[in-house]
Amino acid sequence: MKVAVLDINGKETGRKADLSSDVFAIEPNNHAVYLDVKQYLANQRQGTHKAKERAEITGSTRKIKKQKGTGTARAGSIKSGVFKGGGRMFGPRPRNYSFKLNKNLKRLARKSAFSIKASEKAIVVLEDFNFDSPKTKNFTNILKALDLQNKKSLFVLGASNNNVYLSSRNLKGSEVVTSSELSTYKILNANQVVLLEGSLEGIVTNLSK
């Protein structure tokens, strides 16, 4: 699968990048994608929610009325959840929402995500670039040249580049990651995936193990 390589001005350089059919042209496995996205979102949950139950609140434990003869239900403590100010019944407790997925399934999910984006023609290959210093304006100019200023975009670098990362950090709709930091959720959440030339080899290597 051949794709034209663009420069930072959005113009074709005359070169073609070869996108591996084993990564960018497979039959997407929707269930693998679902599981990987579910795991990513589950890992974002802190799981620190907590409500006090009847054993944890302050209050008297005396029996508030006699057992029989009142015509109403039995009541043993003011801390019962049926009374105002009582503990919550079966309230949330701190827990860990993460769960395990096999590496092969996660690779399949990422390859499926790339194949979905490739079929939607939502993948752009950009020549490698760098900034002399972190400057948001420089990154914004690239977004304008690629017509991405009003779209969610994911830039994939071959190696960590602090100047490029810091230049994009203030922009809500754009995210910069390295090829080793890719996730199925980030690929699918972007309207356009921008792959730098230097990242292609790393992507194919990581997803072909």
pLDDT for the residue 125:
94
Domain that holds residue 88: 49-96
Whether residues 20 and 72 fall in one domain: no
- Reading the block at residue 209, the tokens are 């193990």
Domain count across the chain = 2
pLDDT for the residue 2:
86
d(CA 186, CA 56): 41
Last residue of a domain, one of 96, 128, 155: 96
pLDDT for the residue 10:
87
Whether residues 115 and 90 fall in one domain: no
Q: Is 148 helix (H, G, I), strand (E, B) or coil?
A: coil
Whether residues 90 and 20 fall in one domain: no
d(CA 167, CA 169): 6
pLDDT for the residue 121:
92
Whether residues 15 and 114 fall in one domain: yes
Helices (DSSP H) in the chain: which residue ranges?
21-24, 30-44, 103-119, 136-145, 162-168, 184-189, 197-207
Whether residues 107 and 159 fall in one domain: yes
Whether residues 68 and 162 fall in one domain: no
Q: Please choose, from the candidates 186, 188, 147, 143, the residue with its C-alpha nearest in 3D space to the C-alpha of residue 168.
A: 143
pLDDT above 90 covers a percentage of the chain that reads 82
DSSP-assigned beta bridge partners for residue 146:
none
Whether residues 40 and 134 fall in one domain: yes
Whether residues 112 and 135 fall in one domain: yes
Whether residues 138 and 76 fall in one domain: no
Whether residues 56 and 159 fall in one domain: no
- Give pLDDT tens digits for 155-189: 999 889 999 999 999 999 999 999 999 999 999 99
- What's the whole-model pTM score? 0.83
d(CA 162, CA 177): 11
Whether residues 106 and 38 fall in one domain: yes
Whether residues 124 and 66 fall in one domain: no
- The answer to whether the beta carbons of residues 143 and 149 sit under 8 Å apart is yes
